[in-house]
Amino acid sequence: MTASARLLIVGPQGSGKGTQGVRIAESCGIPVVSTGDIFRANIKEGTPLGQQVTAVLDKGDLVPDELTSEIVRDRLSQDDAADGFLLDGYPRNSAQVAHLDAFLAGRGESLDAVILLDVSRDESIQRLKLRAAEQGRSDDTDEAIAHRLDIYEHETAPILEVYGPRGIVDRIDGIGSLDEITERIFAALAARGLRLAA
C-alpha cells in the first residue's frame, strides 16, 4: 500500500487497460479516472454531453481535447483523488499531456509511473471484435476499430516520447492471462517503490 500513487495506464484499444486499471487502483486504494466510463455514464443518463459523445463515438472519432481535459480536471479535484489516482484514456495526445502537466504542477505533483500495456495491432483487433460480439457495442464496428487504432498510433503512442525521457514508463507485455499481466505490472511498480497489495 502506498500513501499516494499518481498513475497513467496506456495501451491500444483492446489491450486490457480497463481491467488492469481496476486491479491496480484497488490495490493502491485510489480511484480509476476513466474518460470512457465518464462518457458512458453520460450516454446512459441521456445528458447533453452524452448525446454529443454518442454522435462522436458512432463515427469512431474521439471527444475534443478541451472538453475531455475539463472533465478530467474536475474529477481529479474531488476528495477521493487527493492522494492519488489511475488515469485511463487520458491524456491521449501531446496537447492533453500539457494540460495534465500544468494541472499537476499547480498542485506540486507529477505522475509516478506510466504503465504501457504492449499488444500488437492484430491482437487488439481480435480482442475488440470479440468484445463487440459479446457486448453488442455500436462503437466496435470494423471501420471504427481500425480508425481508433490509427488515432492511437498517430496521437497517443507519441505521448510516450514525452514521458519516456522522464524515466517513468514501464512497458508491460500485454499477452498472457489476466493474473500474469497484473503480476508484471505490480512487479514494475514495486521496483519504483510503490507498494501494492496483490
Instruction: State the distance between the two ends of the chain, measured CA to CA, in whole angstroms.
Output: 10
Considering 6, 75, 127, 148, which one is annotated as catalytic? 148
Cα(124)–Cα(10) distance, rounded to whole angstroms?
13
148 catalytic? Reply is: yes
Considering 131, 171, 192, 195, which one is annotated as catalytic? 131
Considering 23, 92, 127, 184, which one is annotated as catalytic? 92
Considering 17, 23, 127, 184, which one is annotated as catalytic? 17
92 catalytic? Reply is: yes
Cα(158)–Cα(176) distance, rounded to whole angstroms?
25
137 catalytic? Reply is: yes
Edge to edge, what strands does the sheet with 169-173 contain? Answer: 32-34, 84-88, 5-10, 113-118, 169-173
| Grid cell of 162 as nine digits | 514525452
As annotated, the active-site residues are 17, 92, 131, 137, 148
